[in-house]
Structure 1
Amino acid sequence: MIGCAAAHDPRSDGEWPPPAILHLGNHFHDICAPNTGVTDEAIKEFSEGQIHEDEALKCYMNCLFHDFEVVDDRGDVHMEKVLNAIPGEKLRNIMMEASKGCIHPEGDTLCHKAWWF
């Protein structure tokens, strides 16, 4: 299943993802990684654009979205919460553009919906 994230080229360099976003995510990573069993290698591969089927990675994303409180109990995305959590207008605009059509993720489970987004 290809979702919204797969429609965009991954980018990882000295400017992206911004250090503020990475720092913000550290706390949630430390909670969600042990809870889902995802490996750091799987996260790294995904971040580098190596999209692969990994149930733990899907559930890790679901955990992140729920801990960031940007999805509801059905897995639907609350874009206003996503955008409010992102520092800086430039980053918000990038996220808004990248997320068009992604409000109601598809999937049979919350993990699959998070993966689709």
Structure 2
Amino acid sequence: MKLFLEFFILAVTAVCMITAGRPDFVTDEILEMVASDKARCMKEHGTTESMIDAVNEGNMVNDRAITCYMYCLFEAFSLVDEDGTLEVEMLVGFLPENIQASAETVISFCSEQSADDVCDKMYDTAKCIADKRPDLWFMV
């Protein structure tokens, strides 16, 4: 369970690196642990692997199939509150130690986005993080 939570936390700052490859801290074991929630969230929101791949290649689109999928994953692991605000301390605590301090600054800043609903807020938050620190963003 701890490893599963670590993945989600990493995947948010790190459900999510705008590059073609995944970061080293998102291991195969983590991907296996989140597979069932990923499949559930994809099904609930009509998300495809090609949409996820596009985001990881730097094409962050404001499409509810992606934004609600992101919220679904974070919510599954208690990494967001009911208003869609990231649980910064929890998320940062699972990142590699060498990036925690700088990541906390960016994630704290970006988590203060305001939007009409949790899916829009997730887009604004994700876009902010990806723009400021692409090395923290990888979507599973």
Q: TM-score range by the shorter chain?
A: 0.7 to 0.9
Query: Which runs of structure 2 are paired with 1:5-20 in the superposition (5 Å)?
Result: 10-13=18-21, 15-16=23-24, 18-19=26-27
Residue 97 of structure 1 and its aligned partner are, at CA, apart by: 4.8
* Contact 2:25-2:96 at 8 Å conserved across structures: no
Query: What is the alpha-carbon distance in structure 1 between the residues aligned to residue 30 and residue 112 of structure 2?
Result: 24
Q: Deviations over 1:22-69 (max 9, x none)?
A: 445434312211111111111110111012231111100110111120
Query: Which runs of structure 2 are paired with 1:12-91 in the superposition (5 Å)?
Result: 12-13=20-21, 15-16=23-24, 18-19=26-27, 21-84=30-93, 86=94, 88-90=96-98
* Structure 2 letter corresponding to 1:40: E
Normalising by structure 2, report the TM-score.
0.63
Q: Per the alignment, do residues 68 and 95 of structure 1 end up closer, same or farther by CA in structure 2, a change over 3 Å counting? A: farther
Residue 73 of structure 1 and its aligned partner are, at CA, apart by: 0.8
Query: What is the alpha-carbon distance in structure 2 between the residues aligned to residue 94 and residue 53 of structure 1?
Result: 26
More helix by share: 2
Unaligned runs of 5+ in 1: none
Q: Which stretch has the larger CA shift, 73-82 or 17-26?
A: 17-26
Equivalent position to 1:110, from 112, 118, 134: 118
Q: How many residues align?
A: 109
- The ranges of structure 1 where at least 4 consecutive aligned residues each deviate by more than 6 angstroms after the TM superposition are none
Unaligned runs of 5+ in 2: 1-12, 126-140
% of aligned pairs identical?
Answer: 24
* Structure 2 letter corresponding to 1:29: K
Residue 93 of structure 1 and its aligned partner are, at CA, apart by: 4.6
